[in-house]
Amino acid sequence: MLRVSKLTDYATVVMTVLADGAARALVLSAQEVATRAHLELPTVSKLLKQLAHAQLVESFRGVNGGYRLARAAERITIADIVTAIEGPIGMTECSAQVGLCDHESHCGVRVNWRRINQAIAGALEGVTLADMLRPAPKARGTIPVQLATA
């Protein structure tokens, strides 16, 4: 199964809390973010440090300190968040970076894994943090599922 880590999922939740606060020009403490996100403070603190290191959030010290988005939610993509927490997006090691596999010179599937990787990265880059605040669009139709018969 392909999935992002639980921390990356939580990072997206934390970022949506900050994006919601950004609409009201709020600087939120880590505790306020944790409360609004319904997450544990140590987890939120860890994520905020990683997101600040990736320059997705700004931190402010002092009595009125806290965190806010480093740029508008429309300019932060889900790919930015995934990369901040997980590193470069890559379905396989060779699709993220050249030279990590001893089989690259004779691998017959590497090119296709790179195509898949580009499609997934493109999809993640196509969704912004602002999009995550909006309700999901109604489905236009369903994808037909063919059940296997014995």
Domain that holds residue 16: 6-88+128-133
Distances (CA, A) of 58 to 37, 78, 97: 18, 18, 29
Question: In angstroms, rounded to a whole number, what is the distance separating the alpha carbons of residues 78 and 10?
Answer: 12
Question: In angstroms, rounded to a whole number, what is the distance separating the alpha carbons of residues 16 and 18?
Answer: 5
Query: Is 25 domain-assigned?
Result: yes
Q: Domain tally for the chain?
A: 1
Query: Is 119 domain-assigned?
Result: no
Query: Is 94 domain-assigned?
Result: no
Contact status, residue 89 vs residue 96, Cβ threshold 8 Å: yes
Query: Is 59 domain-assigned?
Result: yes
Question: In angstroms, rounded to a whole number, what is the distance separating the alpha carbons of residues 2 and 98?
Answer: 22
Query: Is 95 domain-assigned?
Result: no
Question: Residue 83 sits in a domain of what CATH number?
Answer: 1.10.10.10
Query: Is 114 domain-assigned?
Result: no
| Single pTM value for the model | 0.82
Task: Name the strand (E) or helix (H) holding 35.
Answer: helix 30-37
Query: Is 44 domain-assigned?
Result: yes
Query: Is 76 domain-assigned?
Result: yes
| Interval 85-96 mean pLDDT | 80
Task: Name the strand (E) or helix (H) holding 59.
Answer: strand 57-60
User: What does the pLDDT look like over 22-78, one tens digit per residue?
Assistant: 767 789 999 999 999 999 999 999 999 999 999 999 999 988 889 999 999 999 999
